[in-house]
Amino acid sequence: MAAMRKGRFLAVVGPSGSGKDTIIDACCKQLPNIKRVKRYITREQEKAGGEDSYNIKLDAFRKLELDGGFAFSWSAHGLKYGLPITIFDEINAGKILIANISRSILDQLSDKFEYYEVILITASDKILAERLEKRGRESKAQIEERLARSSFTIPNGISPLIIRNETTVEDAVSKIIASIYPNNSKRLIK
């Protein structure tokens, strides 16, 4: 069994277009003690669409992967994603980290973190389709493929905080804050 970590990891999952990155950014603005983990992605910079990520070539990604540079890595939608191994140092230092991850690695979280929470962000298919079209990164066929994957199940033993992101970002953030800090949520919101 892997060594347990001291800090806390907030794992955000959900279908494409649900607003995960927008909500993560808003959480970090509301709560400066929460730090967003910057992902490595094998995507061209001009297609990043505002996400603050390390966009690298596939060869560089594979080298990092082979050299143990990632805490987690996965493939989705023809791209490779990774979270840097340095997150363990930050967790050991007691930090609260938040990251947009793949549902495919959810079952690995309990082996790596003592304290973690899964936050499932979702929305109706209609809203997801509108948001995906608006961001302009995918073709119509790619949008349909992403929508086909929009529903999924969470592995047994994981009880996520479920947020249906169909109202305001502020509403979603307040629910996350209330879950993280149930006794102090009113005081923590700026």
Backbone angle region of 94, left / alpha / beta, with phi > 0 → left and psi within -120 to 50 → alpha: left
Q: Which residue has the higher pLDDT, 52 or 159?
A: 159
Instruction: Give the model confidence (pLDDT) of 122-144 as tens digits.
Output: 988 888 888 888 887 777 888 78
- Residue 150 in this model has a pLDDT that exceeds 70: no
Lowest mean pLDDT among 25-34, 153-162, 166-175: 153-162
Q: What is the pLDDT, as a whole number, of residue 24?
A: 94
Name all domains of the chain by residue range, CATH numbers in brackets.
Answer: 8-38+87-188 (3.40.50.300)
**Against a cut of 0.85, is the pTM above it?**
no
CB 117 within 8 A of CB 180: yes
- Residue 19 in this model has a pLDDT that exceeds 70: yes
Q: What percent of the chain has pLDDT over 90?
A: 43
State the alpha helices, DSSP H only, in the chain. Answer: 20-30, 58-66, 87-92, 109-112, 125-135, 140-148, 169-180, 185-188
Q: Torsions phi, psi of 21, nearest 5?
A: -65, -40
